[in-house]
Structure formats: structure tokens, C-alpha cells
A = this chain, B = another copy of it.
Amino acid sequence: MEDTITLDFGSGGKKTSALIEELILPLLSNEALDELDDGAVLAGNEKLVFSTDSFVVDPYFFPGGDIGKLAVCGTVNDLAVSGGEPKYLSLGLILEEGFPRKDLERILSSVARTAKEAGVMVVTGDTKVVERGKGDGIYINTSGIGFLRAPWLSRKAIREGDAVLISGTIGCHGTAVMLARNENLVEGNVLSDCGPVHRLAGKLLELGEDLHFMRDPTRGGAATTLCEFVEGTDLSIELDEKSLPLDPAAAGACEILGLDPLYSASEGRLLCVLAKERAGEALALLKSLPEGEGAALIGRVTRRSPGKVIIRTAFGGARIAARLAGAQLPRIC
């Protein structure tokens, strides 16, 4: 790790891992934190899931959402994919001096609406203000508590032969935010997929222990998230390129911007791994909800390239999808 922080360290890719593994974990290690999962499962009479995320998205309004909606969805989704039923949120605001009240009102309305949709209550909060030039309008931290419903979900439950599904199009959030930053570059109509996945996760729990693992592909995109599923194991994930659900407008914009949708964040999608016999049923469960209508079976778990994610191209070739190394898209969440 270098001596100063660069934007890469916030990318969700290899540099972020280096920061966590070289600096944070050695100092703060404990059983719950060491799991390095999106949410911590805590002991107690009723098992809890606890998760936190700070949101620094630029711009704070973007097509399909805003930082308020994103801040609720981000934490709700971390709880949901950890097998938790999201219940309570905290809301920490860091505002820059001069921030317009009407923007704050719009963002808080969005927080309220999204919390209602996701069935969570914002129960505690905090507001700080920093001088002009020491922030960027608004940063939001949300932390969340959920009740654990599926304690068996684990990276370790993934088996050879398992099916890999995604609940909808990939990479729209990251692409929409990039376009919102560069209005003159591309004309298009790409909307962020930002939304809560708790209902999708809840549906999948009907599969019981045949559901092995779930995550939401945020920073680093689907490729980076799937790499984390098999890294350090003797399993690999093989994706069929032609089965990946792409949004045509987002795919077109990615091509022009030089981005790979597989590395572009989603903020309202769910990736899951489950027993292949239940794949059809799982697909039907996802598609039974409006937010899962674009769900697809995108690949399978094999032992062919241990620890790696392989993409089988439409032309019969194969390429390795490595983890995102630096910052493809800084500040997309």
C-alpha cells in the first residue's frame, strides 16, 4: 500500500482490499469484522445483521435516483443480501456550508419515500456542517440493523454445479452516474437501477438452504462481486456472455465511454448462487416481482479455473474477469 490515499482506494477493487487487509483489519480484527461481509451478524437473543455505508455520489441527483434514495437502498440491500430482514436505519449527514435547503428537502423526501418502500424506519440521526470547500454538497452515512432470517447463507455454502442468477440488467447505476457527470459526451436515456432488493431476497429465502449465497453488485460491478464469491477457493464461476442482461442504452453508452458494464455498479440488483435443481424456480420467484422481471440465469459454478471468474464469449472463446484494480468510476456511490 502506498503512503498516501489515492482515489483508487475507494474503488471497491484491489486497492480497497489492500487498505482493508493491510491497515484496517490488523488493527481492528474480531470474529464478526474478519468475515469482511457487507453486514456483520451479531450474537444476541435474536441474531442481528448490522451494516454501514457512506455515500459520496457525484452528482447527488442523477437519472433514476439521488443520494438519499441511494443511501437507503445501499444499506437495506446489504442487510437483505446478508439474509437479514432490514428494520432500522441511522442517518448521518455531512453538509457543506451553502448547501441549498431545497436540495436537502428533496433528498430527505427521497430518504423517507425509499425507507417506506423498503419497510425500514430511520430511528436515529446526526447532522454536521463543514466549511465551504471542505465537502461536496452532501455526504450521507446510513447504518442499518436487520433481524437474521437465513443464517446458513455463506460464501462457504457455494458448491460445484450451483447456478448463478442476477435479478436484472447489469451496470446501469454506474453508467447513469457517469453520464450525469458528462452531459455533453453522450445523449441517452440511461436510468440508474437504484432500488431496494429486500423483496427479491425475501422471495429467494423460500428456497431454504438450497439458496447458498447472495450479494448486491455495487462498487466494482458484477465482475468484482463474483470474483469475491470464489477468490481463495477451488471453485470458479463461468458466465455466458450472451445471457448477461444488458440494458441497450447503458450498453451503448458504456461502449462510447470506454466502460465495461461488468465492472459498472448496480444499486438495485441481486446476484445469487443456488442449487442448480432450483434454478428455474428461483428465476420464477425473481420474475414474480416487478423489480425482478429482467432476472436471468447467467452462469454456473465449476472447478475449471479455481478462484477465477471466466466469461464464455458469444464466439466460443473465454476470458478471465479479474477484480477491478483501480478506480474505474470514482464516487459512484
Count chain A residues whose beta carbon lies closer than 8 angstroms to a beta carbon of B: 79
Report whether B51 and A128 are in contact in the complex, using a CB–CB cutoff of 8 Å. no
Residues of B contacting A99 with CB < 8 Å? 4-5
Residues of B contacting A87 with CB < 8 Å? 42
Residues of B contacting A28 with CB < 8 Å? 91, 108, 111-112, 115, 122, 125
Known contacts: A28-B115, A45-B45. The answer to whether A52 contacts B145 by CB under 8 A is no
Which one of A16-24, A195-203, A256-264, A282-290 is at the B interface?
Answer: A16-24
Report whether B131 and A33 are in contact in the complex, using a CB–CB cutoff of 8 Å. no
When the two chains form the complex, which single residue of B42, B112, B129 contacts A145, counting CB atoms closer than 8 Å?
B42
When the two chains form the complex, which single residue of B1, B30, B54, B109 contacts A101, counting CB atoms closer than 8 Å?
B1
Question: How far apart sit A24 and B46, CA to CA, in the bound complex (Å)?
Answer: 31
A288-316 toward B: CB 8 Å interface, digit per residue (1/0)? 00000000000000000000000000000
Closest to A120 in B: B30
Is residue A93 contacting chain B, with contact meaning CB distance below 8 A? yes
Known contacts: A32-B123, A121-B32. The answer to whether A54 contacts B136 by CB under 8 A is no
Report whether A102 and B27 are in contact in the complex, using a CB–CB cutoff of 8 Å. no
Is the contact region of chain A dominated by helix, strand, or loop, or is it mixed? mixed
Report whether A7 and B131 are in contact in the complex, using a CB–CB cutoff of 8 Å. yes
Closest to A4 in B: B98
Tallying the copies of this chain within the complex gives 2
Report whether B52 and A91 are in contact in the complex, using a CB–CB cutoff of 8 Å. yes
Report whether B54 and A126 are in contact in the complex, using a CB–CB cutoff of 8 Å. yes
Is residue A252 contacting chain B, with contact meaning CB distance below 8 A? no
Report whether A52 and B19 are in contact in the complex, using a CB–CB cutoff of 8 Å. no
Is residue A231 contacting chain B, with contact meaning CB distance below 8 A? no
Is residue A318 contacting chain B, with contact meaning CB distance below 8 A? no
A3-16 toward B: CB 8 Å interface, digit per residue (1/0)? 11111111000001
Question: How far apart sit A2 and B105, CA to CA, in the bound complex (Å)?
Answer: 12
What is the distance, in angstroms, from A47's C-beta to the closest C-beta of chain B?
10
22 A–B contacts, CB within 8 A, in A order? A1-B101, A3-B100, A7-B129, A10-B95, A10-B127, A19-B127, A23-B108, A24-B127, A27-B109, A28-B91, A28-B115, A28-B122, A40-B90, A45-B45, A50-B90, A52-B126, A53-B92, A53-B126, A56-B128, A131-B330, A134-B136, A135-B136
Binding site for B on A (CB under 8 A): 1-10, 16, 19-20, 23-24, 27-28, 30, 32-33, 37, 39-40, 42, 44-46, 48, 50-56, 87-88, 90-102, 104-105, 108-109, 111-112, 115, 121-131, 133-136, 139, 141, 143, 145, 147, 330-331
